[in-house]
Amino acid sequence: MKKYICGAALSAALLTSSALASAAANPFSDVPADHWAYDAVAQLADDGVIEGYGDGTYRGQNEITRYEMAQMVAKAMAKEDQVNAQQKAMIDRLAAEFAEELGNLGVRVENLEQKVDNVKWEGELRYVHLSHRDENAAGATDKHSVNTLQLRLLPVATVNDHWKVRARLTGSVKLSEDQASNVALSYLYADGNYGNLRIQAGKMSHFWSYSDDGLVADSWFSGAILTYGTKTKIMVEGGRWNMGNAALNVSGKDKLGGRTASDYTANHYGIGVDHATGKLQAGVAYRHYDSDVFQFLPAYRDGAVTDKAGILSVGGKYKFTKDVALSAHYARNLEADNYNQSADVQLNYKGSNVANPGSWGMYLAYRHLGGYSTLMPTYELHRQTYKIPVAGGEYGTKGWVIGASYAPMKNTNIDMAYFHGTSLGSDHSAKTFYTRVQMFW
């Protein structure tokens, strides 16, 4: 799940490299970005018919080759006995469109499917560098940095025609300190698909909604998620969430003594409705958390304390052309009195795609991330900043972000970002430079 960004120097290189790309009339030429097949494949991916990466996401928002499209269609055809009539018609139309490429794949694809093990492994090597500058109470500038290397291994085990088991193992190295962590289990859950119904049970990510697009809580919880629908989807989840995974600081007023957010596991439930049609995606969601941690958050309430958070979010995305899109999201914690609102407005131009070397994109965004409405943002730039001891930073940040992404080779991606804004708790200036390099397999 994440936002791809880059600095001005890299942008020039991206524009230069994109001029070298050209399409050829062969199976390796790109499917035009406005081709109807992208929407069809994205819909099948959302329905769980076509698999993407190990977490089940489909990263095909940009152009891919006819050969790559045919591979996904072939996998969908292998599941024709598991789909509904609408999905079957969509697969048949795709098969007709890419009949020649499917014919060229022919027995090779069939033989490959016969030899595939029940457990497939995918992975990612991720390097992150972050340099943060903030103004302290004396007016001087404090400097902090993050320099990490992370390994993600994503096994997917096929149980039967309806069920899979998904997991992620994560290990990291703090390069500046030459300090490695133990490999740990990030998530583990059973994933079942029955037509338009998807069932997830175990430890997994909060449901992803057009309403906030990761603005509220991009983290894992233990419980279950039910998702029903195609173009219009209803999502319901419930379970327990370790509040130590949130960007929250417990106040010294904690009369239970010496406890932190990780000592307060929250009861959690959420419901969301998403709708996608044509160029528009929109959604609304409500997420509820019940934990003693909210009683000890500084400035959470002006009056009587509460042990609850209730976050309502609404938002969406509109694609003006194949290259230009505008997204906006708003969230409010109905139980908090301060730092209880978050918003994100972002203008996107194109976007990098690891399956399409040379692809690139840029965006400009304004973000206001209230510390009590954005519990753990999907934006890694801000998520990494939360790990840095900044005066007032626990209450959130606001400001502008500009950047771009670039795929220099197949299965690789480079993101860079620059944030310029202030910390909400102190109103002191804050600047962050962010770089991420990813390699997928």
Written as six digits, the tokens of 129 are 């560098």
Q: What is the pLDDT of residue 27?
A: 59
User: Which of 392, 335, 398 has the alpha carbon at shortest distance from 369?
Assistant: 398
| CA–CA separation, 41 and 49 (whole Å) | 9
48-96: pLDDT as tens digits: 787 654 444 444 455 678 888 888 888 888 887 777 877 888 888 888 8
Q: Which two tokens stand for residue 84?
A: 């509904």
- Burial (CB < 10 A; 0-12, 13-18, 19+), residue 384, is buried
Rounded distance between C-alpha atoms, residue 132 and residue 375, angstroms: 20
DSSP assigned state of 82: G
The H or E element spanning position 138 is none
Q: What is the DSSP string of 242-298?
A: EGGGSS----TT-TT-S--GGG-EEEEEEEEEEEEETTEEEEEEEEEEE-GGGGGST
Phi, psi at residue 281, to the nearest 5°? -125, 135
Q: Are 146 and 388 in contact (CB under 8 A)?
A: yes
The answer to whether 330 and 366 are in contact (CB under 8 A) is no
For residue 280, the model assigns a pLDDT of 95
**Helix, coil or strand: residue 86:** helix
Chain-centroid distance of CA 114 in Å reads 32
Q: Which of 53-62, 130-139, 393-402 has the highest mean predicted lDDT (pLDDT)?
A: 393-402
CB-based contact 416:381 (threshold 8 Å)? no
**Which fold does the domain 122-440 belong to in CATH?**
Porin (2.40.160)
The pLDDT of residue 353 is above 80 = yes
pLDDT tens digit string along 265-304?
999 999 999 999 989 999 999 999 999 888 888 889 998 8
Which among 256, 217, 221 has a CA at the least distance from the CA of 242? 221
The Cα 327–Cα 344 span in angstroms is 8
213 by DSSP, 3-state: which? Answer: coil
* N- to C-terminal Cα separation, the chain: 16
Structure letter (DSSP) for residue 102: H
pLDDT score, position 9: 39
- The percent of residues in the chain predicted with pLDDT above 90, rounded, is 49
For the chain, the domains span: 7-105, 122-440
CB contact at 8 A, 152 and 142: no
- DSSP type of residue 45: H
If you ran DSSP here, which 8-state letter would residue 181 be given? P
> Whole-prediction pTM value?
0.73
DSSP for 359-424, written as a single string: -EEEEEEEEEEETTT-SB-S-HHHHHHTTS--TTGGGEEEEEEEEEEE--STTEEEEEEEEEEEET
Interval 235-274: pLDDT, tens: 999 999 998 888 776 654 554 556 666 678 999 999 999 9
Are the C-beta atoms of residues 292 and 306 closer than 8 Å to each other? no
Query: What's residue 51's pLDDT?
Result: 67
Classify residue 177 by its DSSP letter.
Answer: T
- Locate tokens 């022919």: which residue? 106
The yes-or-no verdict on residue 214 having pLDDT over 50 is: yes
